[in-house]
Structure 1
C-alpha cells in the first residue's frame, strides 16, 4: 500500500515535497549574468590559447579564432531563443529534452556535465602552479584541495554572494587586459607575427598550411569555451525572457574584443615563437620589452590569478546547476538535486562535483581531462543547434520571447562549425575519441539500464514535455 506522503509520478515515485526541496532562488539580473558569462571564459585570455600559434602559426590561429568567434556568436544568438522559450536550469539538457526526448536531453546534458565538472580540475592545477611560483615548496595536492574547498564553500553558502564575487574578479581580470593592451600597443611589431618557421612547401603566413588552421581550432575555442553555460542560471534570473539574451549577447561581444586584442598584441609584442610555448603569455610578452623586473609584469601576474579564479569559481557554479537539473528530473541520482534549506543552493551537486574535481586534479592527466571536457562541450553545441531547428519545425507556435535573427542560417552556421570543431579535436588528439567514448558509454549504460525508468514527471523539463505532448494529442 502506498504511503500517504508519497505520490507516483511518471515511472517512479517521489515525496510530496520533492520539488519544494529543489527550488532555487531568483536574484540575477543582466549585470550579474554578464559577469558570469565573461567570468566563465576570461582565464582563456591569460593562458592556453597561445599554444595554437605552435599548431597553426599566428595567422592559422587567427583564422581559427575568427571561425570559432562566428560559431560562438551564432550559437549565443540561438541559445538566447532557446533559453527564453525553455527557461529552466538544465540549459542544453532542457533544450534537447524538449526537442528530442529523454535520450536527446540526456546525451546533451552529460556533455555539459563532463565539461563543467572536469574543467575546474584543469584550472585548479593552473592556480596551484601560479601559487607555487609565488610560494614555492607547497605540495600541489594541498593547494588544489584548499582552492576547491574555499570555492565550494562560497558556492554552497550563497548564490548571490558567489555571483557578486564573480563579477568583481571578472572586472579585475578585464582591467588586467586593458593594462596589458596599454603597455603592449606602443611596442607592437607586425613582423613578430611571422616568426614561426614554415614546414616544407608552406609560407610564413600559414607555416603548416590549411591543416594548421584545423589544428588551431581547439585553441580558438579556448577564447570562448563555457559561455554557453549561462542558461544554467535561468531559474535564478529575475526575468529570463529579458535578462538571458542581454547576458549572452553582451558577454560574447566582450569576449570577442578581448580575444583579438590579446591575440594580436601578445604575439606582436612578445613574438609568435616565444608565445607559442609560453606558460604565461601576457606577462612574458611585456617582459620581452620592459624586462621581467618591471612593476607591470608583476601586477599582470597577480591579476592573471584573478582571471583563473573567475573561471574556476564560475564553472563550479555552473557545474552545480548542470548536475542539479539532470538529477532533479531523475536522469542522475535524485539525491544530487537537494538544495540547502537556508541558502537555496544545490549544495549536494556542488560538493559531489567538487570531490570529483579534486580527485581528477590530483591523479588525472590534465591533457585527457581537457580533451574530454571540450569534446563534451562540442557535443552539447551540436545538440543545442539541432534542438533549435527541430523545435521551429515541430513547435512553431512555442512562445519565444526572443527570436534568433537570421533563422535558419544562424543556427545552421553554428551547427556546421561545431561539427568542424568536433573533428578538429579528433585531428589534434585522436585518443580523445577513446577516452570520451568510454566515459559516455558508462553514462549511457546507467541511463539505459536504470535512470530512464525512474524519471520524475513533475520536474519542470519533464512536465513541460508531457504537457506539450498532451496538447498536441488534443489538437
Structure 2
C-alpha cells in the first residue's frame, strides 16, 4: 500500500488504494489520536453486567405483548426458539469477539468475512436496533412513571427528555463511571425481579396461563388461542427477553483483556437472562392471567395488583424499583449505539465528525446525535409496541449477517487465532442463522408497515455507502486494517 502524508489533522491523507470495491486512504496519526477510547475500563464481571443491563428492561415490559399475538403457548414456543437462537449466536459471537476484538463488533466481524458492503449493512442494522430500542424503553419508563402518579404527569414526554439528557450526559462524562453506575442500577433491577418472583410464586395457578379465549384460527386451542400463526407473531416479543445481549463485544476496545473477558462476559450474561426470562414468562401470567397482561404497559406491578386484589406494598416496590430495570437497559444501550456509530464513523462509512472523542475519551457526537433522534421518536410515536418491532427488524437482519460471517470465517480462515471456539462450530451458528431468518419474516408478519419503513431506512443507508462513503474509507481504522491485512496476505499466498 502506498505511503501517504501523515500530517493532516482533518482526516485521511491523500493517496488512495482501491480494494474490494471501495477506495481507501491512510488516516493521519492525529486523525486516529482524536478517535481513541479509554482502555482497560471493564473486566469480565462488568461486561457480564453490561450484557444483562442491555436486556433486563425486557423482563419488566414489552415481552407481554406477545400474549396478544400468540397467547401463552405461542409466546412460550417463540421464547424457547428465540432463546435457542440467542444462545447459539452468543457462542458464535464469543468466538468472533475473542478473535477480532474491536469496537466495531458485528460490523467488524462481517467486514472481515463479507467485505465493506456486508460490514456496513451489518453495522447499520445494529445501529437501527440500538438507536430505536432506547426510544421504546423510554416509552415504557413513561408508562411506569404514569402508573405511579409521580409529579402529576399525564403526558410522558418530559420523562423521555429527562432520561435522554441525564443518561447521555453521564456517558459523555466518562465510560468507567457510566459502566459502574450501570452495574449498580442493574443489581437493583435484579433484586426487583427476585422480589417479584417470590411474591408471585404462591399465587401461581396453571389455569391462569390459558385464560385467553381461543379464536377460530387454524390450530387454535386453549394452549394456542391464536393458532399456529400466533407462534410466528410472538417471535418479536420472545426476542425482547434477550434483545441487545449481542452488544457486549462493542466494549472490546475498553475491556482489560478482551480475548479472555469477552467470551466469559457475554456467556455469563446470557445465562442470567435465560433464568430471568423463564421466571417472568411463567410467574407473571400464571399469577395474574395472560388476558390481563396482554396489553399492559407495566405488566409486573399490574400482575401483582391483580394477583393480590389491589394495591400492595409489594406491587409498589416492584413498580418503583422496576424503573431501575428499564433505566439500566436505556442507559446501557446508549453506550452500545455510541460505540457502533463511533466505529462506522472512524472507518469513514458515516460522517467522520461522529467519531471524535473528547478529553475523557468518550465519543460525544455519537452519543448526542442518536439520542436526539431517539427522543424525537419516543415523543412523536409514543408506541412501545411499534418501536419494538422496528428495533427487532434491525436486530434480526444483523443476526443473519453475523452468523453468515462466523460460518464464512470458519471455512475461509480456519487458522485465524481463536482464543475461544464455538461449541459445535458452524452447526451451532447455522441453527442461529435459520432462526434469525424466521425472526426477520416475523417482523413483517407482526407489523408490515413498520418493518417496511425500517427496511427502507436500511436501503437508504446502503445507497449512501454505495454512492458516497465507499470512496472515502479509512484503511488504518482497526476493523478495516484487520480485513485489509488478511486480504493482502491471501493475495501473496
* TM-score (ref. length: structure 2): 0.93
Alpha-carbon displacement from aligned partner over 1:303-325 (angstroms, at most 9, x marks no partner): 11001100100000111101000
In structure 1, the residue matched to 2:165 is 149
Distance 1:449 1:170, change over 3 A: same
- Find the partner of 1:130 among 144, 148, 154: 144
In structure 2, the residue matched to 1:76 is 90
Distance 1:428 1:138, change over 3 A: closer
Distance 2:320 2:60 in 1: 11
1:167 aligns with 2:183: yes
Give structure 1 stretches of 5+ with no counterpart. none
In structure 1, the residue matched to 2:376 is 359
In structure 2, the residue matched to 1:183 is 199
Distance 1:439 1:239 in 2: 36
**What is the Cα deviation at residue 212 of structure 1?**
1.3
In structure 2, the residue matched to 1:5 is 7
Distance 1:285 1:129, change over 3 A: closer
Kindly indicate whether the alpha-carbon contact (under 8 Å) linking 1:144 and 1:361 is maintained by their aligned counterparts in 2.
yes
**What is the Cα deviation at residue 139 of structure 1?**
5.0
In structure 1, the residue matched to 2:29 is 16
Distance 1:117 1:168, change over 3 A: same
In structure 1, the residue matched to 2:21 is none
- Find the partner of 1:204 among 216, 222, 245: 222
Alpha-carbon displacement from aligned partner over 1:155-185 (angstroms, at most 9, x marks no partner): 0001011111111111111111110111111
Superposition RMSD in Å: 1.6
Distance 1:375 1:175 in 2: 31
In structure 1, the residue matched to 2:447 is 429
Greater alpha carbon shift after TM alignment, 194-203 vs 383-392: 194-203
1:348 aligns with 2:355: no
Kindly indicate whether the alpha-carbon contact (under 8 Å) linking 1:9 and 1:456 is maintained by their aligned counterparts in 2.
no
Greater alpha carbon shift after TM alignment, 125-134 vs 156-165: 125-134
- Find the partner of 1:85 among 94, 99, 112: 99
Distance 2:153 2:388 in 1: 26
1:219 aligns with 2:232: no
Kindly indicate whether the alpha-carbon contact (under 8 Å) linking 1:48 and 1:219 is maintained by their aligned counterparts in 2.
yes
Distance 2:71 2:160 in 1: 33
**SS of equivalent to 1:19:** helix
Distance 1:246 1:4 in 2: 39
1:445 aligns with 2:463: yes
Distance 1:223 1:279, change over 3 A: same
Distance 1:368 1:57 in 2: 19
**What is the Cα deviation at residue 205 of structure 1?**
1.4
Distance 1:64 1:9, change over 3 A: farther
Kindly indicate whether the alpha-carbon contact (under 8 Å) linking 2:213 and 2:225 is maintained by their aligned counterparts in 1.
yes
In structure 2, the residue matched to 1:97 is 111
In structure 1, the residue matched to 2:334 is 316
**SS of equivalent to 1:8:** coil
In structure 2, the residue matched to 1:40 is 54
Distance 2:410 2:221 in 1: 45
**What is the Cα deviation at residue 3 of structure 1?**
7.4
Point out 4+ residue stretches in structure 1 off by more than 4 angstroms.
none
Distance 1:242 1:131 in 2: 40
Query: Which residues in structure 2 correspond to 1:46-65 (within 5 Å)?
Result: 46-65=60-79
Distance 1:4 1:34 in 2: 39
Distance 1:241 1:13, change over 3 A: closer
**What is the Cα deviation at residue 290 of structure 1?**
2.2
Give structure 2 stretches of 5+ with no counterpart. 17-23
**What is the Cα deviation at residue 140 of structure 1?**
3.3
Distance 2:323 2:361 in 1: 29
Distance 1:355 1:65 in 2: 32
Greater alpha carbon shift after TM alignment, 306-315 vs 120-129: 120-129
Distance 1:217 1:394 in 2: 32
Distance 2:6 2:416 in 1: 37
Alpha-carbon displacement from aligned partner over 1:197-241 (angstroms, at most 9, x marks no partner): 111262211112221111111110010001111111111110111
Kindly indicate whether the alpha-carbon contact (under 8 Å) linking 2:140 and 2:297 is maintained by their aligned counterparts in 1.
no
Query: Which residues in structure 2 correspond to 1:177-326 (within 5 Å)?
Result: 177-200=193-216, 202-326=220-344
**SS of equivalent to 1:135:** helix
Distance 2:158 2:203 in 1: 40
In structure 1, the residue matched to 2:19 is none
1:403 aligns with 2:421: yes
1:115 aligns with 2:144: no
In structure 2, the residue matched to 1:332 is 350
* TM-score (ref. length: structure 1): 0.96
Alpha-carbon displacement from aligned partner over 1:321-379 (angstroms, at most 9, x marks no partner): 010000000000111111112x1111111111111112222223635433222111111
Kindly indicate whether the alpha-carbon contact (under 8 Å) linking 1:46 and 1:280 is maintained by their aligned counterparts in 2.
yes
Distance 2:103 2:96 in 1: 12
**What is the Cα deviation at residue 8 of structure 1?**
3.3
Distance 2:262 2:35 in 1: 22
**What is the Cα deviation at residue 118 of structure 1?**
1.5
